[in-house]
Amino acid sequence: MREWWVQVGLLGVPLLAVYLHIPPPQLSPALRSWRSSGTFFTYKDRNIFYRDSTGAVGSSDVVILLHGFPTSSYDWNKIWEGLTQRFHRVIALDFLGFGFSDKPRPHRYSILEQADIVEGLARHLGLQRHRINLLSHDYGDTVAQELLHRSFRAPAFPPGPRETIPSRSPRDAAVPGWESRIPRSASRGPGGAVTGAPLSVLQYINQRKQHRQRWVGALMATSVPLHLIYGPLDPVNPHPEFLQLYKKVLPMSTVSVLDDHISHYPQLEDPMGFLNSYLNFINSF
């Protein structure tokens, strides 16, 4: 029996080495355009990709978009133009380990570090005194929760009147007792967004359990308006059980439920429905 496992191990090592050296696929024209319209800033010697578009004239509102796992800022491409018609500045980044940002190996990826990077980007762009709206999805929801927690104590990232607006619930971190599920890894996300995120990024699942009180508490204690945009066909947070639990734990949050066929990526599956739901929420203040 031991010899069998040794043989498997000896075979697996060269296969893994080959896999790690496979060149990434060629970028599509859309992704090349996305990259060329963005730029990089340096956070602790790491290159972080971001886009920053100036939009609506006469508005001072800023929105920062936080993408999910295992994709990138390209997740927001279908609603980008619509957001620029409402906000003065629309900003999105690729988290460390995702998209066009650096993917150091080995590295202990953490939600706390990703929140540090978002704060670093805000300082880099001179947004310290601006009120910032957050539009987040999946993995980005947990980063938004950490930023919300910090806003109670650290004025360096001032909460906007509509700071945390999760487009998807942050899974088990949003609702106590909700069982976490490991998402499927992929080399390309919806819309062909390049990811290549190291498997060590998956540490965020355990971090959600470790910091549940910190992050759920931030949602439950905040006076900042929250809004959930929900796709009923989402296999990660199934309908109707998840929605019932979400409303019970966060009764102050408003909710938009999209059409029955919308699943885990509502901003890509139903961009107009998603955008309208979000803008209706924003414009209600």
The confidence score (pLDDT) of residue 128 equals 86
The confidence score (pLDDT) of residue 23 equals 78
Planar angle of CA 71, 73, 78, nearest 5 degrees = 105
Q: pLDDT (tens digit, 9 = 90+) per residue, 5-44?
A: 656 556 666 666 666 677 777 899 999 999 999 999 999 9
CA distance 247 to 268: 24
Q: pLDDT (tens digit, 9 = 90+) per residue, 191-237?
A: 444 455 666 788 888 998 999 999 999 999 998 999 999 999 999 99
One-letter amino acid for residue 169 of the chain: S
At residue 158, does pLDDT exceed 90? no
The confidence score (pLDDT) of residue 180 equals 28
Closest CA relative to residue 73, chosen from 118, 105, 133: 118
The confidence score (pLDDT) of residue 149 equals 94
The confidence score (pLDDT) of residue 6 equals 58
Q: pLDDT (tens digit, 9 = 90+) per residue, 170-192?
A: 333 333 333 222 222 223 344 44
pTM of the shown model = 0.82
Residues 6+ apart with CB under 8 A from 97: 103, 104, 107, 109, 197, 198, 200, 201
Q: pLDDT (tens digit, 9 = 90+) per residue, 56-94?
A: 888 889 999 999 999 999 999 999 999 999 999 999 999
For 53, the enclosing helix (H) or strand (E) is strand 46-54
| Alpha helical stretches, state H, the chain | 2-20, 29-36, 80-84, 111-124, 139-151, 204-210, 212-221, 241-249, 266-269, 271-282
CA distance 212 to 207: 8
Domain with CATH 3.40.50.1820 in the chain: 34-153+194-224
The confidence score (pLDDT) of residue 182 equals 25
Residues 6+ apart with CB under 8 A from 79: 267, 271, 274, 275, 278
At residue 157, does pLDDT exceed 90? no
Q: pLDDT (tens digit, 9 = 90+) per residue, 37-50?
A: 999 999 999 999 99
The confidence score (pLDDT) of residue 170 equals 36
Cβ contact 246:255 at 8 Å: yes
* 85-94, 121-130, 165-174, range with the lowest pLDDT: 165-174
The confidence score (pLDDT) of residue 21 equals 72
- Record: fold of 34-153+194-224: Rossmann fold (3.40.50)
Closest CA relative to residue 84, chosen from 68, 107, 65: 65
The confidence score (pLDDT) of residue 152 equals 78
